[in-house]
Amino acid sequence: MKVFFKCVLFLLVGMLGACDKKTAVREIPIADFFKNPERTFFRLSPDGEYIAFLQPYKDRLNLFVQKLNTNEITQVTSESENAIMKYWWAGNNQLIYLKDNNGDERYHLYAVRKDGTKNQDITPYPDVTVRLIDVMDDGNILLLLNKRDPKKFDAYRMNMETGELKIIAENPGNINYWMADHEGKLLLAVETDGVNDRLLYRPEEDMPFKVVRSVQFDENLEPQCFSFDSNKHIYALSNIGRDKTALVEFDLETGKEIKTVYENKDVDVAEVGYSKRLKKLLWAGYTTWKYEVHFLDEPSACFYNNISKKLPGKDLWITGMDKMEEKFLVRTYSDRNPGTYYLYEINSDKLSKLSDISPWIKEQEMAEMKPISYQSRDGLTIHGYLTLPKGKEAKNLPAIIMPHGGSSPWTRNKWGYNAEVQFLANRGYAVLQMNYRGSTGYGKAFYQASFKEWGGKMQNDITDGALWLIRSGVADSSRIGIFGNGFGGYSALVGCIKNPEMYKCGVSYCGIINLFTYLKDIPPYYKSMQGMYYELVGNPETEADALREVSPIFHAEKIKVPLLVAQGAKDPRVNTQETSQLVKTLQKQNIDVKYILKQNEGTYFMKQENRIELYKTMEQFFNDNLKK
């Protein structure tokens, strides 16, 4: 059962209100929030006899394997510089994992036996990046390599037993997505003209691809899997001809939608789960204020409900299973707990605990994350989450505005455990997270409302959230800071530039500071999507004035409040010379600016010691500026 109940969440909705009385709250050590988990990211071997997981070794997450029903644990890797974050079983006897160089995102693929022997780079090509398409049941893996041309990712099949690498599709340079059928044949691709997409299909691997359907850049057609009845049909997520993305069945010969499998009138469908063994779809996932699942048949609902009964009061999702779909990995979690992993065996109806992710996090000490909504100045409903510190009256609190980030704004905040949020709440701050226009899950019109609105209406949505928090009486208007990473870091800088009277300080963590650099100086393998980004963000050739107006690098003189800037030197999306230039300009203006530049990090601080240093600095920074 290929079921990934990602982010299945549950929360009893309550009114935001003041505590009846103040209670003492323990100040939890920073390391408890930001050190590595004890064990995480479990995966079952295909035969269901072994389980792999990530566990710290010398402060880096490494790969371990345990034989089920025994205490026999083998440390498979011994990485002391770069943590392992993504791995897969490649058959029953070996695993594969991705590793880059200190966050530069130039990944290589490594293979290692489950006993820890024969650990080697199986893509040892200089200046080449690897992307994984799929791991097949027959011992083959499908992967992408740009070794022929740095701008083009060709598709390859690798035999994991022999090491043979064979090209199966040469990329002309404009294909950004590939999908195999259930037998591992690479039959589907998506190409771009720089702005719009075209869905490509071939009945067999020795036949040429043909265009099936064109898709405008502001529409969505995301293939999920082939039909189990015919390779002429696929299941896809589509918003063509509708506002909310739906799960549909699509005909690859006619280029037309056959039927709608499931749609939600309020939000986008985001995921689909299916069973290879049963050869059918099982569920569709979507997010309202929490993640929810619509089961597509009664047996799937009964299966899930049976496990739920064994974990009363817990929120759970299924994260993996063996090939025969007899053993399943179950993870629980909430807004106040990173969660626990369990093993469920369907034949014996047995549920066994594997490990807490971070057992030092005590749920009763964490704060509740509650859904909220407010109106933007131009009438859009903006949804978000408010986390209030425990033991304090919800009135005139110091507050942190925390717009979501990443490499672009087209993601979203979700309800669930967030170490940054819990850390700030534990230190006495109200934390407001908002899903400004363009955030995913709210339909096509909401997404389109963000086009070319970086630093404009998107920023207004963030500002309107801060104003809402003030009007509600929760936030003290004289003690509000703004903090974010990636696009959120960009928003923090723009907020300090446009609203210095509102924000008393700001923290930009790997924040984008120059939209010209962001749009032009991208890695060569993203060049095919450059035209689309011009449509979404702005064209640096024809809309230079507009982009300059919303690029922080050109408005440093307008920043009048204290600033903390954190940056990884290997971040491929931010020019660290420009970041350093911004910091120097602020220092010349006698602005209180703190700068953390880590040479061994990329977009995020993945090394435990760097994370802890960052948040210790942030704690003191917010104390100095928001608690006086």
Contact of 376 with 383, CB cutoff 8 Å: no
170 vs 189: CA distance, rounded Å: 11
Residue 302 has pLDDT above 90, yes or no: yes
Half-sphere exposure of 544 (CA within 13 A, CB side): 3
* Six-digit token string for 517: 């650099």
Asked whether residue 407 falls in the same domain as residue 544, the answer is yes
Three-state SS for 389? coil
CATH number at residue 440: 3.40.50.1820
| pLDDT surpasses 80 at 566 | yes
On whether both 135 and 216 belong to a single domain, the answer is no
Q: What does the alpha-carbon distance between residue 269 and residue 260 come to, in Å, rounded to a whole number?
A: 12
Would you give the distance in Å from CA 555 to the centre of its chain? 30
| Count of domains forming the chain | 3
pLDDT at 526 over 90: no
User: Does pLDDT of 627 surpass 90?
Assistant: no
Residues 152 and 263 in one domain: no
What strands lie across the sheet with 130-135, from one edge to the other?
130-135, 140-149, 152-159, 165-169
Closest-CA residue to 510 (of 439, 572, 418): 572
Choosing from 153, 169, 185, the residue where a domain stops is 169
Could you list the beta-strand ranges (E) of 202-268. Answer: 210-215, 221-226, 233-238, 246-251, 256-262
Asked if 358 contacts 336 with a C-beta cutoff of 8 angstroms, the reply is no
What is the identity of the amino acid at 8? V
Let me know if residue 596 belongs to a domain.
Answer: yes
Distance CA 385, CA 435 (A): 9
SS3 per-residue string spanning 89-119: ECCCCEEEEEECCCCCCCCEEEEEECCCCCC
On whether residue 106 sits in a domain, the answer given is: no
Residue 23: the pLDDT is 60
- Asked, for residue 2, whether it belongs to a domain, the answer is no
Single-letter amino acid, residue 624: D
Q: How far apart are CA 576 and CA 610, in angstroms?
A: 17
Question: Which string of DSSP letters, residue by residue, matches 500-568?
Answer: TTT-SEEEEES----HHHHHHS--GGGGGGHHHHHHHT--TTTSHHHHHHT-GGG-GGG--S-EEEEEE
Distances (CA, A) of 127 to 195, 384, 610: 27, 41, 26
3-state secondary structure of 515: helix
Residue 214 confidence (pLDDT) above 50: yes
- 467 and 515 belong to one structural domain: yes
93 in a structural domain: no
Which of residues 287, 310, 327 is at a domain's end?
287
Question: Is residue 217 included in any domain, yes or no?
Answer: yes
Sheet holding 316-321, edge to edge: 316-321, 327-334, 337-345, 350-356
End-of-domain residue from the set 102, 135, 169 = 169
Tokens 């407010």: give the residue. 374
Same domain, 411 and 461: yes
Boundaries of domain holding 148: 125-169
- Residue 306 domain-assigned? no
- Measured from the Cβ of residue 462, the count of other Cβ atoms closer than 10 Å reads 26
Give the orientation angle of helix 419-426 with respect to helix 608-626, to 10 degrees: 40
| Average pLDDT, integer, range 111-123 | 97
The answer to whether residues 536 and 401 belong to one domain is yes
Q: What pLDDT sits at residue 147?
A: 93
pLDDT digits (tens, 9 = 90+) for 497-518: 999 999 999 999 999 999 999 9
* Same-domain check for residues 601 and 524: yes
Tell me the pLDDT band of 135, cut-offs 50, 70 and 90: very high
Give me the torsion for CA of 84, 88, 91, 94, rounded to 10°. Answer: 0
Alpha helix (H) residue ranges in 375-438 = 419-426
Quote the CA–CA distance of 580 and 574 in Å, as a whole number. Answer: 11
Longest Cα separation, the chain:
72
Range of lowest pLDDT (105-114, 378-387, 414-423, 566-575)? 566-575
pTM, rounded to two decimals: 0.93
Q: Would you give the DSSP letter of residue 72?
A: -
Strand 430-435 to 475-485 pairing: unpaired
Q: Classify residue 2 by its DSSP letter.
A: B
Dihedral of CA atoms 433, 435, 438, 441 in degrees, nearest 10, equals 130
pLDDT of 11 higher than 60: no
Strand ranges for 181-220 from DSSP E = 186-192, 197-201, 210-215
If DSSP codes are grouped into helix, strand and coil, which group holds residue 526? helix
Domain shared by 200 and 142, yes or no: no
Q: Does one domain contain both 416 and 557?
A: yes
CA-wise closest residue to 410 among 535, 528, 317: 535
* Residues 547 and 399 placed together within one structural domain of the fold: yes
3-state secondary structure of 76: coil
pLDDT at 277: 94
CA dist., res. 483 & res. 420, Å (int): 10
What percent of the chain stands above pLDDT 90?
A: 87
Across residues 317-344, what is the average pLDDT? 96
Phi and psi at 306, nearest 5°, equal -65, -40
Say whether both 396 and 495 belong to one domain: yes
Single out the residue of 53, 50, 135 nearest to residue 322, CA to CA.
50
Question: Which pLDDT band, with edges at 50, 70 and 90, does 22 fall under?
Answer: low
Residue 223 has pLDDT above 80, yes or no: yes
Question: In b/e form, how buried is each residue of 383-422, taking b as 16+ CB within 10 angstroms?
Answer: bbbbbbbbebebebbbbbbbbbbbbbbebbbbbbbbbbbb
- pLDDT-wise least confident of 192-196, 371-375, 619-623: 192-196
AA identity, residue 314? K
Residue 156 confidence (pLDDT) above 90: yes
One domain, residues 551 and 574:
yes
Average pLDDT value for residue range 163-168: 94
Q: Is residue 238 part of a domain?
A: yes
At which residue do the structure tokens 């299973």 appear?
Answer: 321
CB 433 within 8 A of CB 385: yes
Residues in the chain: 628
Residue 333, domain member (yes or no):
no
Give kind and range of the element (H or E) at residue 205: none
